[in-house]
Structure 1
Amino acid sequence: MRFSVVCPTYNRGPAITATVDSVLAQSLRDWELLVVSDGSDDDTDRVVAESARADRRVRLIRTHRHGHPSGPRNLGLAEARGEFVAYLDHDDRWAPGHLAVLARALEGGERFAATGATRVDTAGTVLHVTPPLALCWHPELQLMNAIFQPSQVAHVAGLAEEVGGWRRSESGLEDWDLWLRLADAGVRCRTAADPTVVELVDPATRQGSLIARHGWEVARFPDGRAARAAYRALKDTRRVAAARDALERDLRAWYADLAGSGLVIPSGWAAGPPEVDRALAETVAEASIGGRELWPDLAIVPRDGHVALVHLISCVSQDHADRIGALTRRVMRHQMALYEDVLGGV
């Protein structure tokens, strides 16, 4: 068995058929599909069982209700018989060549691999296609960004268990938690530019309701009045041009440093310096520094004995947010200088 595909589901009903059919349509045929029903109480199990009767490579595994995907994914890993494990969320679909692309990466000696994705809304409208730059991989990039959704990822069997398996996260970011632990363990990810996954973006889902629970401090003040004055100064949109310039200069320097320390370029992208520079400029143009609001994730947070300006982040834990803050201060030197210049004048 080449691939074991782990698909956790809960009350997806007949809609899961499109997901299952996308596995049945894979050009690489040597796989098993483990659909782990997390205590579904609608007709999901019946629909999956029908697919299992039609194709013995499909298996239905039923479990008690966990209320999150980590438990079902771990059960799927325990039942997996393949050389490689791939993940598929129950509302996503794969292009027919998805497993073949992952197989090429994993058979080349890497233990962890991922592809690009096309993100669509509930009406099927394309919202975003992963640009090649966003599929560049490095431990520092993995620290700063989740990079992949589960449906994009595969790894050699047993790898997830080596770092503790899937864990329930109060932040709801179980996937980022696992990818980060793999990076911390020294596991490198091979990526492919091919957008072989269609991922549903639905505000009604659990992922669509994630809250930024953690953050890193930009500065602290003795009282709320001083913090509000600093907040207004940093949010002044007259500084948009300076903020964009600082961001672009920092990103160019950071990626140049990463290129000398193991940066993974996705296969299928001829990424010479001009292509990388152009992609970085496009990233800056699409960044959260906009004409209407400057640094929208900046917030005033009362703390014991002081009031802080904090960049709120949807990340794994406060320890993770602290690591992001430390790396930001190290690599975003021009932005940090801009902060200091603005705050020094308040």
Structure 2
Amino acid sequence: MVRFSVVCPTYNRGPAIAATVESVLAQSLRDWELLVVSDASDDDTDEVVAGFARADDRVRLIRTHRHGHPSGPRNIGLAEARGAYVAYLDHDDRWAPEHLAVLARALEGEQLAATGATRVTAAGDVLHVTPPLTLCWHPELQVMNAIFQPSQIAHVAGLAESVGGWRTNETGLEDWDLWLRLTDAGVRCRTAAEPTVIELVDPSTRQSRVTARHGWEVARFPDGRAARAAYRALKDTRRVAAARTALETDLRAWYAALMESGLLVIPRGWRADAREVDRALREAVAAAPIGGRELWPDLAIVPREDHVALVHLISCVTQEHADRIGTLNRRIMRHQLELYADVLTC
């Protein structure tokens, strides 16, 4: 049995997939197999991968009928995987040479692990490096955020299948859907601070076109006129300072509670106690782009059968998940909701 099975779904990536495959070939941990699952590519993607497979029998090309979504190819890859662990790699991402070695250490005694990432443009310009704070893990954090992209994750063989595997949906975000189902099954995620994944941020990709289809209600109004007036009041950028203060107060209290619960996972490589987590959180809120052109850009007016609602839109797979986010927000964002109430009663 090999140590890692790497599952890489692809469609019409062409010669550019070579850099992705080469990043696996360059891994310092050599005990792996790479399963490139072609979703009926009709360009030269398969030919490029086949060339790597001829040169190194650890690389396997699996061609399948067209799914139009990466979940189907990922599930096919899982069925073919022979490794003790499964790692995922999107066809436009790359790994640093130590990626699998870092994951192997993080997976010791664990079922699920993730590393940090550097997000880059197609030209190679660095947009963002995941700070350690965003790699903290807790069941509530997983409800509220996707946290990880597939290329950052690895798990013990059979784990994804135990909760139903990868699901196909119209909204995308199938990764968040899987991580949440694993969390609900009692699986915790060990994280590592090292940014060993190079993730491409490309406006033309499916990920960049995800739209918010669900949400949770902030307030209800009898008609559209009242809702529009409230919407304009909440969007007023003169309240930026108050909004930032409320956000910081709520997040600091929430993270303090997560620390006290004993369930907050601190990424390996970040020696952080409660004071350091709080410092990093305050720094993150201070840098957050609050109130550029408008406050709360995800706020929308949504007509209902018997009322008009102000809704926080959320990019998630199901309304049930959005409802969970709303319930959690009502508990943890007390000061922000008080700010809402003050504005709406003016």
Question: Secondary structure in 2 aligned to 1:103?
Answer: helix
What residue identity is the alignment partner of 2:276?
E
SS class of match (2:107): helix
For 2:308, the equivalent position in structure 1 comes to 307
SS at match of 1:168: coil
Task: Give how far 1:3 is off.
Answer: 0.2
Q: Secondary structure at the match of 1:91?
A: coil
Asked if the contact 2:93–2:151 (Cα under 8 Å) also holds between the matched residues in 1, the reply is yes
Matches within 5 A, 1:59-138: 59-107=60-108, 109-138=109-138
Aligned residues, how many? 344
Q: Deviations over 1:178-233 (max 9, x none)?
A: 00000111100000000000000001011111111111100010001100111111
CA contact (8 A) 1:288 1:295 kept: no
Q: How far off is 1:272 after superposition?
A: 2.3
SS of 1:36's equivalent in the other structure is: strand
Question: Structure 2 counterpart of 1:55, which letter?
Answer: D
Cα separation, 2, equivalents of 1:257 and 1:216: 23
Q: Matched residues in 1 for 2:47 and 2:264: separation?
A: 46
Q: Which runs of 4+ in 1 moved over 6 A?
A: none
Q: Which amino acid is the alignment partner of residue 42 of structure 2? A: D
Counterpart secondary structure, 2:83: coil
Distance (whole Å) between structure 2 residues aligned to residue 265 and residue 284 of structure 1: 19
Which letter does structure 1 place at the counterpart of 2:213? R
What is the correspondence of 1:183-202 to structure 2 with a 5 Å cutoff? 183-202=183-202
Alignment partner of 1:177 is 2:152: no
TM-fit CA distance, 1:291: 4.3
SS of residue paired to 1:41: coil
**Which runs of 5 or more structure 2 residues have no equivalent in the other structure?**
none
- Kept in 2, the 8 Å contact 1:288–1:294? The answer is no
Q: Percent identity?
A: 83
Q: How far apart are the structure 2 equivalents of 1:93 and 1:296?
A: 32
Q: How far apart are the structure 2 equivalents of 1:41 and 1:245?
A: 53
**RMSD (Å), alpha carbons:** 0.9
**Contact 1:288 1:296 survives alignment (8 Å):** no
Paired residues for 1:1-346 under 5 Å: 1-107=2-108, 109-261=109-261, 262-345=263-346
Cα distance in 2 between the residues matched to 1:344 and 1:44? 59
Deviations 1:121-174 (A, max 9, x none): 111100000010000000100000000000000000000000000001221111
What TM-score do the two structures reach when normalised by structure 1? 0.98
Name the aligned partner's letter for residue 238 of structure 2.
R
- 3-state SS of paired residue (1:251): helix
Question: Could you tell me how far 1:80 is from its partner in structure 2?
Answer: 0.3
Within 2, Cα distance between the matches of 1:314 and 1:45? 33
TM-score (structure 2 length as normaliser): 0.98
TM superposition shift of 1:343: 1.1
Q: Is the 8 Å Cα contact of residues 113 and 154 (structure 1) preserved in structure 2? A: yes
Alignment partner of 1:260: what SS? helix
Which range moved further: 274-283 or 336-345?
274-283
Contact map agreement 2:256 2:274 (CA 8 A) in 1: no
State the alpha-carbon separation in 2 of the partners of residues 119 and 236 from structure 1: 32
Partners of 2:303 and 2:86 in 1: CA distance: 45
Give yes or no for contact 2:75–2:165 (8 Å, CA) kept in 1: yes
Structure 1, unmatched stretches of 5+, are none
Q: How far apart are 1:339 and its partner, in Å?
A: 1.0
